[in-house]
Structure 1
Amino acid sequence: MTETGDRVGLACPSCSPGEPTVHEVLKPGGQATVRCTECDHTHKAEITEPETTDLQVVVSQDDESFSTLVEESPDDRVEVGDEFVVDSPEALLQARITGIEVGPEERAEEATIDEIDTLWTRAVDNVSVDVTLHPKDGEEEHSESLTVNVPGDYEFTVGETESFGEEEFSVEGLQIRDDAPEYRHEKLDHEGDVAYAKDLKRLYGRDETSSAWSAW
């Protein structure tokens, strides 16, 4: 519902009767009191609320998930890979669409909101990145696995050194997730290749903290 202070597009009888301009809502209601931000003219106007429908959304984050309902326009069209804000009692977060369920065991790559039974998503504002870390001077079969937690828009670059707590490693390869926007390859391993943390399935690095590891 429209509230005091909201901004809406409306025709102004004073300066723009034919085209909408931005208005500030002074008093909401059936006949709302609004002020044109172009000429400061105050007048009454009917504000039509956009039609919305409840959409079932499942959000996964690491090994946990929750289901919630969000309000969306029934005519909006979405596709796998799109990102949007999930504003729910459980959390406020940025999510990426990983699956669109349009019927029992029926998936689609894109659909309008009114066609969707359930939207499957993954939180991408903060993510955990799995790292395979090779020893600095050892054999790759002695590699170690670890996880780093970073903002989804954090950039990893092949050839650059990263530090997380006591861990320091150079980035050697970036494995891209299936739901990520189009990258040149599924694995990036050329000097200077860049990917966002939210797009990574796994990162491969070379340890920079010690000269020798023991097998474990």
Structure 2
Amino acid sequence: MTETSTSDTAERVGLVCPACSPDVETVHEVLADGGRATVRCTECGHVHKEELPEQRTVEREVVVSQDGDSFSSTVEAPAAETVAVGEEFLLETDEAIMTVRITSVELDEGRAEEAAVEDARTLWTRAVGNVTVDATVHPKEGTHDETRSVSLQVPGDYEFVVGETDDLAGEEFTVEGIHLREDAVGYEFDKLDHDGDSALAKDINRVYARDESTSAWSAW
């Protein structure tokens, strides 16, 4: 594991330095926050205490898609913070606090993959705390049943693994393949079909599976 130095992770702010730049702001590292923060000038290394400037925040509209429906809310965020497609955040609404994933950032001039909150007009998102995963379930070998589709309600972080058997909502099946959503990140391919391949429910567009139920069922 590679060690990370304090200077690589410390918050940085623009402040005047009493030692080398009393009139013009220089970049400072925040060594200790709270009250009068302890900061270090990156130009001369002088350590001193200063009141940190408050971050300016802006309110932005958030459109949330959930199981085919959508609604609007708002979020208060630092103006200079960057938001990007694929990022997730907690959104507090009148009904609940939910985890949402950014699917598009709308600017005045169109849509973008990434932008500063200040430049964003609307954040288009999808609820990923609890999700519905569509599954195509093939019949057991040797039966005359037909392929059917089922909808599975699971936590967004529920993991489906190719080759493993799941028992959900009265459905028992072995996962044979997974098709990922367009906004899924961190995967090498958008289709997974090798034993051991896995994906989180919030990243999945559809699961392909083999029926393992012990009781017979009919398409009628």
Letter of the structure 2 residue corresponding to residue 158 of structure 1: V
**Pair 1:91 & 2:96 matched:** yes
TM-score, structure 1 length as denominator? 0.75
**Pair 1:21 & 2:26 matched:** no
Structure 1 vs Structure 2: percent identity of aligned residues? 50
Alignment equivalent of 2:70, drawn from 57, 65, 75? 65
Contact 1:137–1:211 (CA under 8 A) maintained in structure 2: no
Contact 2:131–2:156 (CA under 8 A) maintained in structure 1: yes
Q: Hey, what does 1:160 align to over in structure 2?
A: 164
Instruction: Summarize the Cα distance change of 1:85–1:211 in structure 2 as closer, same or farther, 3 Å threshold.
Output: closer
**Pair 1:55 & 2:60 matched:** yes
Question: Structure 1 CA distance, aligned partners of 2:144 and 2:102?
Answer: 35
Q: Hey, what does 2:138 align to over in structure 1?
A: 134
* SS of aligned partner of 1:114: helix
Bigger shift: residues 47-56 or 179-188: 47-56
Which consecutive residues of structure 1, in runs of 5 or more, have no partner in the other structure? Answer: 1-17, 24-31, 35-44
Contact 1:129–1:197 (CA under 8 A) maintained in structure 2: yes
**Pair 1:174 & 2:178 matched:** yes
Instruction: Summarize the Cα distance change of 1:111–1:19 in structure 2 as closer, same or farther, 3 Å threshold.
Output: closer
Letter of the structure 2 residue corresponding to residue 100 of structure 1: V
Alignment equivalent of 2:207, drawn from 200, 203, 207? 203
Task: Give the Å deviation of 1:69.
Answer: 1.2
Give aligned pairs, total. Answer: 183
Which consecutive residues of structure 2, in runs of 5 or more, have no partner in the other structure? Answer: 1-28, 37-49
TM-score, structure 2 length as denominator? 0.73
